[in-house]
Amino acid sequence: MKFFDEALISVTAGNGGNGAASFRREKYIPRGGPDGGDGGRGGNIVVMADRNLNTLIDYRYTRIYRAEHGGNGRGADCYGKGGSDMILRVPVGTVVSDAASGEVLADLDADGASAIVAKGGMGGLGNIHFKSSINRAPRQCTPGGAGEAHELKFELKVLADVGLLGLPNAGKSTFIRAVSAARPKVADYPFTTLQPNLGVVRVGESQSFVIADVPGLIRGASEGAGLGHRFLKHLQRTRVLLHLIDVAPFDPEIDPVADALAIVEELRNYDEALFLKPRWVVFNKIDLIPAEEREARIRSLTSALAATGDAAGTAPHFAVSAATGEGCTALCQKIMQFLEAPSDHA
**114-118 and 45-50 strand pairing:** antiparallel
Q: Are residues 224 and 339 in the same domain?
A: yes
Residue 231, domain CATH: 3.40.50.300
Task: Please report how many Cα atoms fall inside a 13 Å half-sphere around the Cα of residue 38, on the Cβ side.
Answer: 13
3-state secondary structure of 328: helix
For residue 30, what pLDDT is reported? 79
Q: Are residues 187 and 297 in the same domain?
A: yes
The answer to whether 327 and 286 are in contact (CB under 8 A) is yes
Q: What's the whole-number average pLDDT of the chain?
A: 84
Q: Is 105 left (phi over 0), alpha (psi -120 to 50) or beta?
A: alpha
Residue scoring higher pLDDT (333 or 226):
333
3-state secondary structure of 272: helix
Residue 205: is its pLDDT beyond 80? no
Residue 304: is its pLDDT beyond 70? yes
Q: Are residues 87 and 199 in the same domain?
A: no
Residue scoring higher pLDDT (270 or 321):
321
Q: Are residues 76 and 174 in the same domain?
A: no
Q: Are residues 145 and 212 in the same domain?
A: no
pLDDT, tens digit, for every residue of 174-197? 888 888 876 765 655 455 555 677
Q: Which of 136, 143, 137 is nearest to 80 (CA)?
A: 143
Residue 269 lies in a domain: yes
pLDDT, tens digit, for every residue of 5-59? 789 999 999 999 999 999 988 888 877 889 999 999 999 999 999 988 888 888 9
Q: Are residues 180 and 314 in the same domain?
A: yes
- The amino acid at residue 161 is D
Phi and psi torsions of 42, nearest 5°: -75, 155
CB-count exposure of residue 264 (10 Å: 0-12, 13-18, 19+): buried
Residue that finishes a domain, picked among 115, 138, 156 = 156
Q: Are residues 27 and 85 in the same domain?
A: yes
End-to-end CA distance of the chain: 35
For residue 343, what pLDDT is reported? 61
Q: Tell me the C-alpha distance between 100 and 98, whole Å.
A: 6
For residue 346, what pLDDT is reported? 41
The answer to whether 126 and 20 are in contact (CB under 8 A) is yes
Q: Tell me the C-alpha distance between 258 and 309, whole Å.
A: 13
The answer to whether 40 and 147 are in contact (CB under 8 A) is no
H/E segment holding residue 303: helix 291-308
The answer to whether 65 and 45 are in contact (CB under 8 A) is yes
- Mean of the pLDDT values across residues 255-275? 81
Residue scoring higher pLDDT (184 or 125):
125
The answer to whether 70 and 16 are in contact (CB under 8 A) is yes
Q: Tell me the C-alpha distance between 157 and 205, whole Å.
A: 28
For residue 186, what pLDDT is reported? 62
Query: According to the per-residue pLDDT averaged within each range, which of 37-41, 201-205, 242-246 is highest?
Result: 37-41
Residue 213: is its pLDDT beyond 90? no
Residue 320 domain boundaries: 162-345
Tally of domains in the chain: 2
Residue 108: is its pLDDT beyond 70? yes
Residue 24 lies in a domain: yes
Q: Are residues 327 and 195 in the same domain?
A: yes
Residue scoring higher pLDDT (295 or 11):
11
Residue 214: is its pLDDT beyond 90? no
pLDDT, tens digit, for every residue of 138-159? 999 999 999 999 999 998 888 8
Residue scoring higher pLDDT (308 or 78):
78
Q: Are residues 187 and 47 in the same domain?
A: no
Please enumerate in sequence order all residues whose Cβ is within 8 A of that of 238, keeping only pairs 6 or more positions apart, or say none: 160, 161, 162, 163, 212, 277
Q: Are residues 10 and 141 in the same domain?
A: yes
Residue that finishes a domain, picked among 127, 156, 185 = 156
Q: Which of 150, 196, 205 is nearest to 176 (CA)?
A: 196
Residue 1 lies in a domain: no
Residue that finishes a domain, picked among 156, 174, 194 = 156
For residue 180, what pLDDT is reported? 83
- Mean of the pLDDT values across residues 82-97? 93
Residue scoring higher pLDDT (193 or 291):
291
DSSP string, 112-130: T-EEEEEPPPPPPPPGGGG
3-state secondary structure of 23: strand
- The amino acid at residue 319 is A
